[in-house]
Structure 1
Amino acid sequence: MRRPSAIPSPAPPVEPERQARGQLFDGARRRTAGFGIDASAAPETDAGAAVPEDANTTAPIPLDRAASAVPSPPRERAEQPDPGSSQEDVPLTARDLWQATRARRRALRTEIRRFTQRSRRRRIGWVVGIALALLVVGGSVGAAYSPLFAVETVTVEGTSALKAADVQKALSGQVGRPLALVDSSAVKAALVAFPLIETYRLEAHPPHDLVVRIVERTPIGVLQADDGRFIVVDAAGVVLSTSEARPAGYALIDVVGGTGSKAFAAVGTALRSLPAELRGQVDGATASTPDDIALKLSGGAQVVWGSAEQSALKTRSLQALMKANPSAATYDVSSPGVGIVG
């Protein structure tokens, strides 16, 4: 019979921490083997001795136990306070609030100034323009009403029967007054004294001239009054002059109803349509109604005029008939399109 071999003595127990350290070292050696790094040199242990290469022969330690065996970082380091959090916890003072409010107001004023700069420029332009316009208008008005533009001369235009000197003398009261202050009522009152003036117009010619343009009334004939005097009238029946003897060059008007009748108005329209040369050849005009106007020429010829309608056309027809038949005794132009000579 064989002698039984001796039973090997059990390996000394390995501390858990040393087992975990050996396990970690063994894994590191395996990982670095492929890169040519010599990891055989074992790190020193706490006692200064190297870990033997066959340390992996010991029983493996579960990973959860090995992980739990690795010392964790100290908790104090993870729980260190954030330096920024301590600044947020600092309470605000009244000075901080005042500075923040002031900065906000300054920024707001800057924005308002930036956005309102254009409108402020536009407003300034309008103000300057209006001020200049008011200055120009005010200066012009002030100069117009000042003695710088006072009336020094009165010029009368359009007179033939009237004397311009008489009209200027009647308007002498306006001399020395500013052109803008000429009294139109006073001018009218002065010109009413001249019956020959039908219409007038005032014109201011700066700096010192006042021009009066006059349209005289056109005398169309004379009327014989009950006392035997002769009255020169115009187409409206306005009395222009009176004389004892019959004035030459005016037709003697004989109508029914006087100057206020329709017959007189028709005669006045017919006579006024005649040119001055032809009117001077008319010796008399009669009418009982507005439709039976008859004229008598100085040579003795009679003119049948009819109504006052189309007087201008009848005048041209009469001139043509008189030129073609100067010695005719009768000219009928009552129908202007058809002239009849008798």
Structure 2
Amino acid sequence: MRRPAPLPASPEEPTPDDVADSASPERRRRPLLRFGATGQRDAGTRVGAPDVGAPDAADPDASGVKPVSGSDSDGYAVTAVIEDGERDAGQPAMRSSEVWRAARARRKALRAEIRRFTQRSRRRRLAVWGSTAALVALVLGSMIAAYSPLFSVEKITVAGATSIDPAAVQRSLSDQIGAPLALVDADRVASALAEFPIIESYALEVRPPRELLVRIVERTPVGAIRDGNAYSVVDAAGVVLSTSAERPESTPELDITGGLDSAAFHSAGLVMRSLPADLRATVTQVRAASGDDVTLSLADGKTVVWGSEQDSARKAAVLVRLIAAAPQSSTFDVSSPTVPVVG
């Protein structure tokens, strides 16, 4: 009996490594990029794909570089990256004359700006110094003019004097003649005018170059009160203006209970001050036993019941209208100005 022939050998099963090697073609090593004609390699040139994590070469805004694509003699892609501030080899070089002109223009602009600032500062300083000099000159000129003999008192003028003689006032101020206008002694003027009781107030005015003006406000006499064998003319404040043996015809007689320091005199004085000048000139007598019963007697025989000094201005206006409306009446009661009585 013959033995059967042996089975043919089965092919050897491939290993996983062999399968992997047969699945991928043999990878060829990429040759190194050759240097250029100058023999030096560009420091900004990168071969092949960019490194992982580096900015995308296609996005010039992602990094401050400027990509330039091309290929070498073997057909490999080459990407050249030009950093900021570097000049591309394809761009023409800036000429030295252009650099010189740019620097010159910059220096010229800088000098113009400095010159403009300097001129503005100089103008400001000149304006300040000019104003200061003008002020100093004005002050010095005023002082020289004020204390100069060219501006001394040579004439004294009195205004507002009706009851006193202006010449008497001028004589009392004669010691101010020759004094500089700016050095008129106000205290000596006040002492001289105090000799005139009728002067209630005054004001001095300087009128260059040589005149001194004295404005006087006289006291208003309200009546003459009997003091023993004489009459004293007084104003509303009780200041004695003059004394005479006979009562002046233009001054009404005061019949006051309590004298000059009483409330009756105070009310009578305020009533006389509130009357219009033409109506006050017709009053011949003022009677007051207290501060609430002031009575006036007029030259034509009329009698005015005034009452207190309250609302005196309103009472005076009502009295003027009543006399004009009823001139034949002899009694006018304005103690209550809202309801006056005519009799």
TM superposition score normalised by structure 2? 0.63
AA in 2 matched with 1:205: R
Question: Within the alignment, does 1:310 sit opposite 2:311 as a pair?
Answer: yes
Any idea what SS the aligned residue of 1:304 has?
A: strand
Deviation at 1:316, TM superposition (A): 2.1
- The equivalent residue for 1:190 is 192
Separation in structure 1 between the aligned mates of residue 283 and residue 217 of structure 2, nearest angstrom: 24
Separation in structure 2 between the aligned mates of residue 221 and residue 114 of structure 1, nearest angstrom: 82
Gaps of 5+ in 2: 1-112
TM superposition score normalised by structure 1? 0.63
Any idea what SS the aligned residue of 1:232 has?
A: strand
With over 3 angstroms needed to count, the CA separation of the structure-2 counterparts of 1:319 and 1:124, relative to structure 1, is: closer
Question: Within the alignment, does 1:332 sit opposite 2:317 as a pair?
Answer: no
Question: Within the alignment, does 1:251 sit opposite 2:257 as a pair?
Answer: no
With over 3 angstroms needed to count, the CA separation of the structure-2 counterparts of 1:245 and 1:123, relative to structure 1, is: same
Deviation at 1:228, TM superposition (A): 2.1
- The equivalent residue for 1:234 is 235
With over 3 angstroms needed to count, the CA separation of the structure-2 counterparts of 1:281 and 1:125, relative to structure 1, is: closer
- The equivalent residue for 2:293 is 292
AA in 2 matched with 1:263: A
AA in 1 matched with 2:257: V
Deviation at 1:223, TM superposition (A): 0.6
Which structure has the bigger radius of gyration?
Answer: 1
- Please point out which of 165, 168, 185 is paired with 1:166: 168
Q: Give the alignment's Cα RMSD to 1 decimal.
A: 2.3
Deviation at 1:115, TM superposition (A): 5.8
Gaps of 5+ in 1: 1-110
Deviation at 1:222, TM superposition (A): 0.6
> 1:12-91, aligned counterparts within 5 Å?
none
AA in 1 matched with 2:234: V
Deviation at 1:142, TM superposition (A): 1.4
> 1:107-186, aligned counterparts within 5 Å?
118-186=120-188
Which protein is richer in helix relative to its size?
1
Deviation at 1:247, TM superposition (A): 1.6
CA deviation digits over 1:173-199, x for unaligned, max 9?
111111111111111111111111111
Percent of aligned pairs sharing the same letter:
52
CA deviation digits over 1:124-147, x for unaligned, max 9?
431232122201221122111111
With over 3 angstroms needed to count, the CA separation of the structure-2 counterparts of 1:339 and 1:118, relative to structure 1, is: same
Question: Within the alignment, does 1:321 sit opposite 2:322 as a pair?
Answer: yes
- Please point out which of 209, 212, 215 is paired with 1:213: 215
Separation in structure 1 between the aligned mates of residue 280 and residue 117 of structure 2, nearest angstrom: 82
Deviation at 1:113, TM superposition (A): 8.6
- The equivalent residue for 2:23 is none
Separation in structure 1 between the aligned mates of residue 175 and residue 226 of structure 2, nearest angstrom: 38
Separation in structure 2 between the aligned mates of residue 323 and residue 283 of structure 1, nearest angstrom: 19
Separation in structure 1 between the aligned mates of residue 114 and residue 279 of structure 2, nearest angstrom: 86
With over 3 angstroms needed to count, the CA separation of the structure-2 counterparts of 1:294 and 1:121, relative to structure 1, is: same
Deviation at 1:121, TM superposition (A): 4.1
With over 3 angstroms needed to count, the CA separation of the structure-2 counterparts of 1:124 and 1:281, relative to structure 1, is: closer
Deviation at 1:167, TM superposition (A): 0.8
Separation in structure 1 between the aligned mates of residue 298 and residue 115 of structure 2, nearest angstrom: 93
Separation in structure 2 between the aligned mates of residue 159 and residue 335 of structure 1, nearest angstrom: 37
- The equivalent residue for 2:265 is 264
With over 3 angstroms needed to count, the CA separation of the structure-2 counterparts of 1:319 and 1:113, relative to structure 1, is: closer
- The equivalent residue for 1:64 is none
Any idea what SS the aligned residue of 2:316 has?
A: helix
